[in-house]
């Protein structure tokens, strides 16, 4: 697994990332990274990863578990861990099942950066994309008994920020760690 | 009674009490099998009063919600009653966010659920 534990200084990490993104033959554009760079400049990353995952629903679980282990080691609350777990699980399933449609030659790119109190995740697929505005509100009475369509709503509720870019083929999520006193109170 | 891989099924009076064996109910980790076993209770074994006890479950995804909704529909189609209980707060929040706490009859404890039939 191409997971890099430990602390790359932020500037070095950025340079490495830009070089990686500039490498020929990469199938994914790093456009969203620059979109979020301003909000990320103050962060000191304690863990990062950049993985390409085959289009099998269970394939993202290793990197997801590794990421959760890093959050736990950084002292994130159980509630935050639950919300991140659920949101990333939903986003990966969306990318693999709905985006790439389980196509064996398509991959999902999973990028993640963790500071002591901020998690940034970007998940990109090679599908046709979608418009999140076209997804019906699952809480509408007419939709309440539909067996699917709740993943995005859960992501938006449990994460601090969820944005879709690149025509819906990329989702960027951020989670700000809940301060300890708030976490105990909830 | 059929053998179940994903469920523990017991009778309390005329109520069927179901405990999940999986701690995590996630897409493709046996969730199809889980759904089939739940549906079998209603469609093949004709259970009409059922409690789903989530005490062992610490995580579920939206795919699991889909199975529960389908089970609820099947139960209602046969004029049965379904109740859920022992849901930990984080999972209850999933039901609340999606407003499925309005669709399902959710009780705190199994005794409360049994008493509600």
Q: Structural domain boundaries of chain B?
A: 7-115
- Establish if A101 belongs to a structural domain: yes
- Establish if A130 belongs to a structural domain: yes
- Establish if A42 belongs to a structural domain: no
- Establish if A40 belongs to a structural domain: no
pLDDT of residue A183: 60
A-chain residues near B69 (CB < 8 A): 145-147
CB contacts < 8 A, A to B, total: 55
- Of the candidates B66, B97, B102, the beta carbon closest to that of A153 is on B97
- Of the candidates B29, B66, B94, the beta carbon closest to that of A154 is on B94
Name which of A16-25, A64-73, A123-132, B84-93 the model is least confident about. Answer: A16-25
**pLDDT > 70 fraction of chain B, expressed in percent and rounded:** 98
Domain with A149 in it: 48-185
User: A108 by DSSP, 3-state: which?
Assistant: strand
Q: What is the DSSP code string of B35-52? A: HHHHHHHHHTS---EEEE
pLDDT of residue B68: 96
> Are the C-beta atoms of B23 and B58 separated by less than 8 Å?
yes
- Establish if A17 belongs to a structural domain: no
pTM for this entry: 0.85
A-chain residues near B99 (CB < 8 A): 138-139, 144
Q: What is the CATH number of the domain that holds A172?
A: 3.30.565.10
Asked if the Cβ–Cβ distance from A145 to B69 is below 8 Å, we say: yes
Q: Give the distance from residue B8's alpha carbon to the nearest chain A alpha carbon, in angstroms.
A: 24
A114 — phi, psi (to 5°)?
A: -130, 125
Number of neighbouring beta carbons within 10 Å of residue A97: 18
For B90, the closest chain A residue by CA position comes to A79
Number of neighbouring beta carbons within 10 Å of residue B82: 24
Give the CATH fold of the B7-115 domain. Transcription Regulator spoIIAA (3.30.750)
How far is residue A39 CA from its own chain's centroid?
16
pLDDT of residue B2: 73
Number of neighbouring beta carbons within 10 Å of residue A103: 14
Q: Which string of b and e fits B86-116 if b means at least 16 CB within 10 Å?
A: bbeebbebbbebbbbbebbbbbeebeebbee
Q: What is the ipTM of this complex?
A: 0.92
Q: What pLDDT band is residue A26 in, cutting at 50, 70 and 90?
A: very low
Name which of A33-37, A117-121, B54-58 the model is least confident about. Answer: A33-37
* pLDDT tens-digit map of B56-87: 999 999 999 999 999 999 999 999 999 999 99
Strand partners, B82: B50
Question: Is pLDDT of A27 > 60?
Answer: no
B100 has a chain A CB within 8 A of its CB: yes
Asked if the Cβ–Cβ distance from A86 to B73 is below 8 Å, we say: no
Calpha distance B54→B57 (Å, rounded): 5
DSSP label of A158:
H
Tokens of B46: 């004709």
pLDDT of residue A180: 77
Mean pLDDT, chain A, whole residue set:
82
Number of neighbouring beta carbons within 10 Å of residue B81: 14
* pLDDT tens-digit map of A37-93: 556 777 889 999 999 999 998 888 889 999 999 999 999 999 999 999 999 999 999
How many domains in chain A?
1
B27 has a chain A CB within 8 A of its CB: yes
Calpha distance A144→A130 (Å, rounded): 22
Q: Cα(first)–Cα(last) distance of chain B, in Å?
A: 23
Question: Is pLDDT of A35 > 70?
Answer: no
């Amino acid at each position: 697994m191409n997971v890099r534990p430990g602390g790359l200084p932020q500037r070095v990490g950025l340079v490495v990332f830009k070089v990686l993104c500039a490498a020929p033959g990469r199938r994914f554009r790093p456009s969203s990274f620059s979109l979020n760079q301003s909000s990320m400049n103050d962060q000191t990353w304690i863990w990062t990863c950049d993985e390409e995952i085959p289009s099998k629903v269970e394939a993202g679980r290793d990197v997801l578990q590794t990421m959760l282990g890093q959050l736990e080691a950084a002292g994130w609350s159980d509630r935050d861990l639950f919300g991140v777990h659920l949101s990333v699980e939903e986003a990966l399933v969306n990318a693999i099942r709905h985006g790439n449609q389980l196509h064996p030659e398509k991959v999902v790119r999973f990028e993640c950066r963790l500071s002591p109190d901020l998690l940034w995740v970007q998940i990109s697929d090679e599908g046709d994309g979608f418009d999140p505005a076209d997804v019906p509100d699952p809480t509408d009475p007419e939709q309440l008994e539909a067996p699917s369509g709740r993943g995005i709503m859960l992501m938006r509720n449990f994460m601090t920020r969820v944005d879709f870019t690149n025509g819906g083929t990329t989702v960027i999520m951020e989670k700000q760690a809940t301060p300890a006193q708030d976490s105990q109170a909830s | 009674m059929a053998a179940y891989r994903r469920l523990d099924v017991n009778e309390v009076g005329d109520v069927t009490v179901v405990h999940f064996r999986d701690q995590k109910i996630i897409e493709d980790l046996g969730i199809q099998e889980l759904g089939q076993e739940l549906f079998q209770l209603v469609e093949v074994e004709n259970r009409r009063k059922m409690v789903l006890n989530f005490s062992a479950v610490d995580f579920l995804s939206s795919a699991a919600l889909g199975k529960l909704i389908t089970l609820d529909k099947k139960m209602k189609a046969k004029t049965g009653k379904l109740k859920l209980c022992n849901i930990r707060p984080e999972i209850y929040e999933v039901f609340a966010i999606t407003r499925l706490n309005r669709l399902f009859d959710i009780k705190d404890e199994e005794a409360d659920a049994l008493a509600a039939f």
